[in-house]
Amino acid sequence: MRKFLLVTSLCLTAGLASAALAPVAAHADSASAVDGKMQVLPDGEAIYHHVCQSCHMPDGKGAVGAGAQFPALAGNPKLKSAEYPAYVVLNGFGGMPWFAGLLNDQQVADVVNYVRTHFGNHYTDALKPEDVSEMRPHLSVEEE
C-alpha cells in the first residue's frame, strides 16, 4: 500500500515539464485515485497525460536531467513489440515505478496502444486487455 501512495504521488505531478526532475512532495489527488486504481481515466491519451508524461514529457521525447534519465517513447524501436512496453508499465523498470496496481488491464492496453500509435510510432497491432491479464505479475497486491 505504501508503494501505491508513492506511485500515486509521483504520477499526479504531471505538467511540470522541466521541473519534473525535481523531487516532489507527496500530494495525492484523491479525485483521480480511488481504491488505488485510476478510475477516471477513460482512454490511453488521458492515461498518458496523467500518468506518463511527467517523466516521458508531453511529446514523448523523454528528458535528461540531474540524476535522472527518462527515455524517449517517440520513435523508440523497442515499442515494436507491444509486450515490451506492457511489461515495463506493469513491472516498472529501473527508475520507473510499476503500475500493475494502479491501472487495470484495459488501461494498460490503452496506454500501450496510445504510445505505440503516437509520437511518430505507427504500430497498429493493438494489445488487448486479455494479453495484459496474462502478463500480470502472479502475486498482485490485491492477493496480499
State the nearest-atom distance from the C-beta of 89 to ligand HEC, in Å: 5
Out of 21, 41, 82, 97, the residue judged to bind ligand HEC by CB under 6 A: 97
Query: With b meaning 16 or more CB within 10 Å and e meaning fewer, what string describes 60-88?
Result: bbebeeeeeebbbbbebeebeebeebbbb
Tell me how far, at minimum, the Cβ of 28 lies from ligand HEC, in Å.
14
- Measured CA to CA, the distance from residue 140 to residue 122 in angstroms comes to 32
Considering only residues 12, 60, 82, 85, which one is a binding residue for ligand HEC as defined by CB under 6 A? 85
Give the x/- contact pattern for ligand HEC in 31-70, rule: CB under 6 A. --------------------xx-xxx-------------x
The verdict on 116 binding ligand HEC (CB under 6 A) reads no
Q: How far is the CB of 31 from ligand HEC (least distance, A)?
A: 18
- Asked whether the beta carbons of 82 and 127 are under 8 A apart, the reply is yes
Min dist CB 52 to ligand HEC, Å, is 3
Residue 34 makes CB contacts below 8 A (sequence gap 6+) with 40
Q: Are 16 and 63 in contact (CB under 8 A)?
A: no
Q: How many CB atoms lie within 10 A of CB 38?
A: 20
When binding is defined by CB under 6 A, the residue of 8, 12, 57, 71 that contacts ligand HEC is 71
